[in-house]
Structure 1
Amino acid sequence: MHCWKTINVQKLYGHDRIFLLSMIVVFAVFSFFYIAINVFINGPISDSMFPLFLVLFLMTYPMHKLLHFLPVARFKKHLRYDLIFRFGLIPTLNMRIHEPIVKSRYMLSLMMPFIVINSAFIVCAMTMPTYRHYFTILLAYHSGLCLIDLLYVKHLLKTPKKALIEETAKGFEVLIPVSNGR
């Protein structure tokens, strides 16, 4: 195996640019989805479940991380977790795999939270229209959280199909088999 490419989205785009893009995604998703759902669903909205909204808001990030973990759960012996505080007060959990895994499984791990959680918020907004504003806020917030995962997927789509992905301190290394002319 040799390293075909190292991908580090944080270095490539910069933390500030990623944060700004994430905020743009949050506002764009909220604006588009809130207008779209109100075109199809007419009726009153209610604030009666605000405490539940807060719980869901706080649980979105841990659920996001759990859904990243599920596709790579069989590699749990090779996982390492780091708790990092962003801006000195926002705790973030980093999960690193110290064994190369197939690109498709890694991409599934990156996409799983986006697909599952966003789908759940959309379905909830449609089936509980009285609380559609809460689910629209949650959808927008989670879409902003998923931006960095989507950036990694964008870069991984351009890599060879049979590649393996390994996480290092430098970023994600895309490994491809060395052929000996056979």
Structure 2
Amino acid sequence: MNCWKTINVKKQYGFERIFLLSSIAFLTVFTVFHIIMGMVDAVPYSDRLFPLFTAVFFLIYPIHKSLHFIPLIRYREHVDFSVKKLFIYVPVLSLFVREPVPKFNFVLSLLMPFVVLNTALLAGAYILPAFAHYFSILLAFHCGLCLIDLIYVKHLVRSPKTSLVEETAHGYEILIPPSE
């Protein structure tokens, strides 16, 4: 296998820039979606389920990470999970792919949380318009989380169709067979 390209978005953009872009995505999605929901369904908002909203808010991240694993279930013996602490209190869950996997499965793995959770949140806002403000916050938060995945997808889409993706300490390596 030949390495076609190595992608390390965290090194390329830096933590501060990624955080800023995620924050901008959060604010943009919240503003646009909240305004649209206000125009579509002008019902009074309710704060009855605030404890449930708080619980779901803290569960979005672990659910997001779990959804990354579903397309890689066939390669589970090559996937490692780890938990690290960021700023002493914040647990950061990581999936590490030790062996090359097909590009299609890897892109699907990156897009799975975005599609599944955002669809569920949009449906929830439509079905329960009195809680659309909660769904707006959750949707915006999740879109901010998904930003780095979408940046990786942007890079991977341009790679050869038959390529494989492997995760290393330097980032994601896009590998192609020697014949290409």
| TM-score, normalisation: structure 1 | 0.96
Q: Show the counterpart of 1:25.
A: 25
Q: Which runs of 4+ in 1 moved over 4 A?
A: none
Segments of structure 2 that go 5 or more residues without pairing to the other structure are none
Q: Show the counterpart of 1:123.
A: 123
* SS, match of residue 75 in structure 1: helix
Segments of structure 1 that go 5 or more residues without pairing to the other structure are none
Encode CA deviations 1:47-90: one digit per residue, 9 max, x unaligned: 00001101110111111011000100121111112212222321
Q: Show the counterpart of 1:88.
A: 88
Counterpart check, 1:36 vs 2:36: yes
Kindly provide the amino acid, as one letter, of the partner of residue 132 in structure 1: A
Shift of 1:123: 0.6
After superposition, residues 32-181 of structure 1 pair within 5 angstroms as 32-179=32-179
Q: How many angstroms apart in 2 are the aligned matches of 1:179 and 1:154? A: 25
The percent of aligned pairs where both chains have the same amino acid is 50
Q: How many angstroms apart in 1 are the aligned matches of 2:76 and 2:116? A: 21
Q: How many angstroms apart in 2 are the aligned matches of 1:88 and 1:18? A: 20
Shift of 1:179: 1.6
